[in-house]
Amino acid sequence: MRIISYNVNGIRAATRKGLIDWLQTNPADILCLQETKARQEDVDCTPFHAMGYQDFWFSAEKKGYSGVAVFTKIKPDHVELGNGHGQSDQEGRVIQLDFGDIRLINAYFPSGTSGDERQQYKYQWLNECYNWLEKLKKKHPQLILCGDYNIAHQEIDIHDPKGNKNSSGFQPAERAWMTKLFESGWTDTFRKINLEPHHYSWWSQRFPSVRLQNKGWRIDYINVTSALEKKIKEAYLLPTVKHSDHCPVYLALK
């Protein structure tokens, strides 16, 4: 099972930048997209279908905002939209698919960069998500949680930890939430394999030189529960793939 998680920052914009051509190289069996900024009926999915992908969407009520989608060549046994939390579901942040005994969760975590109100909602969302995942693990021990977490966990995951110590996405409480997640039985699949610094998945668009200089953050993850840890085969980032301000994250399971 080859999985890619990718915040495309607008699926229509990413398509104009060559997303379809890249997918024709067959990089994955399952493609989990965040921040689609579109509804299913707004996008011509014919090219995806021609490559053998089925598509499942959960879009925000607000047009052109947030949203997640999964394109998969493996037929899911079950698809579930949302996670039952009102505002999260209104913003189209979670979609779940079952493949045999494995449940795949594609999530777009809130960002707190636009102000205190959204930062407070981010903390609310994180708390709701953690409690929901704890319950879900009892029913589905083999979980994959992929997406844009909007959190850089450790200093190794951000180019300027000192300068960003108070920035949304690297605040102590956010980082502590990630630590709590991993201590509760989750594995950071990328760090399981790669312990080297300077690997990032997002670069600010405000300064074009930032990506060239690799001054980024690793805020996109594919994490698995301990029941799947031994099945990790490959895990890496694809920073040279450029249809977005993020890059794809890759995981292969045995």
Return d(Cα 158, Cα 184) in angstroms, integer: 23
Q: Which of these, 187, 201, 212, lies nearest to 7 by C-alpha position?
A: 201
Residue in 148, 157, 220, 245 annotated catalytic: 148
Return d(Cα 113, Cα 166) in angstroms, integer: 11
Residue 160 is among the residues annotated as catalytic for this protein? no
**Coil vs helix vs strand at 55:** strand
Q: Which of these, 43, 98, 108, lies nearest to 72 by C-alpha position?
A: 98
Residue 219, C-beta contacts closer than 8 angstroms, at least 6 positions apart: 148, 149, 150, 151, 152, 157, 169, 201, 202, 246
**Coil vs helix vs strand at 106:** strand
**Residues classed as catalytic:** 148
